[in-house]
Chain A
Amino acid sequence: KQEVTQIPAALSVPEGENLVLNCSFTDSAIYNLQWFRQDPGKGLTSLLLIQSSQREQTSGRLNASLDKSSGRSTLYIAASQPGDSATYLCAVDQTGANNLFFGTGTRLTVIP
């Protein structure tokens, strides 16, 4: 069974800093990997989807990379802002059925 791990569980950074969130998965045979954001008491918002054939995806200040062979993905956030404070979740789709295996998330706090 696919296991998805996110370390650290929580991270605090000062405003303006660039930061990297990590995601690792045990089975490298994946279809895609997705990053989500979750605000307290709310649902999830999709940020980026990286297909298995891709190495990275970018959206604004966010850049996600994928290294299937090592079972790792990173989410890079440039010039962090207080509004980036949230929990960031990564999830893996193994088969293309869009049945996602989620990590437990990294709770990010950006301090003004």
Chain B
Amino acid sequence: NAGVTQTPKFQVLKTGQSMTLQCAQDMNHNSMYWYRQDPGMGLRLIYYSASEGTTDKGEVPNGYNVSRLNKREFSLRLESAAPSQTSVYFCASSRDRGNNEQFFGPGTRLTVL
């Protein structure tokens, strides 16, 4: 039981390049989330998926797109990376919305030059 896995662990991009961050969970959870963590700002929600087939914007969605590929997988895409997107990205999942704890992946450290 791996929990929440993320790939890659590290990535360096040049401005304007695109990439997709992958996330998968093996806990049969309905809800999945993408956060970014920046020094001094705490974690901020980018997008979430309450259930398979649905996605919604969080607090900071600009510059990102997401795909809930199936119940297990939720990917985050940067179409044209900018230095302001340098951050650590975390994927999380929970059984459902409501009073359910979130389980986090180990994170992807992204640098955009």
Q: How far is the CA of A13 from the CA of B83 in the complex (A)?
A: 38
B98: contacting residue among A4, A44, A96, CB under 8 A:
A96
In the complex, which of the residues A32, A89, A100, A101 has the most CB atoms of chain B within 10 Å of its own CB atom? A100
* Interface positions of B from 10 to 43, Cβ below 8 Å from A: 31, 33, 40-43
Known: A51-B99, A104-B41. A43 touches B50 (CB 8 A): no
Query: Which residue of chain B has the shortest Cβ distance to A97 in the bound complex?
Result: B97
- For B63, the chain A residues whose CB sits under 8 A away are none
A contact face: mostly helix, strand, loop, or mixed = strand
Using Cβ atoms and an 8 Å threshold, which residues of chain B touch A43? 4, 90, 104-107
Number of chain B interface residues as a range: 20 to 34
- Measured between beta carbons, the chain A residues less than 8 angstroms from B104 are 36, 43-45
**Residue contact A46 to B102, C-beta cutoff 8 Å:** yes
Q: Min CB distance, B25 to chain A, in Å?
A: 12
Q: By the criterion CB–CB under 8 Å, are B42 and A46 in contact?
A: no
**Interchain residue pairs A-B with the least CB separation, the first 5:** A43-B104, A46-B101, A102-B42, A102-B43, A44-B104
Residues of A within 8 A of B (CB): 4, 31-32, 34, 36, 41-46, 49, 51, 89, 91, 96-105
Residue B94 is within 8 A (CB to CB) of chain A in the complex: yes
Contact of B43 among A89, A96, A98 (CB under 8 A): A89
Q: What are 22 contact pairs spanning A and B, CB under 8 A?
A: A31-B98, A32-B99, A34-B101, A36-B104, A41-B107, A42-B106, A43-B90, A43-B105, A44-B90, A44-B104, A51-B99, A91-B43, A97-B50, A98-B31, A98-B96, A98-B97, A98-B100, A100-B43, A100-B45, A102-B43, A103-B42, A104-B42
Which among B96, B102, B103, B107 has the greatest number of chain A C-beta atoms within 10 A?
B102
Contacts A49-B101, A100-B102; A89 near B107 (Cβ below 8 A): no
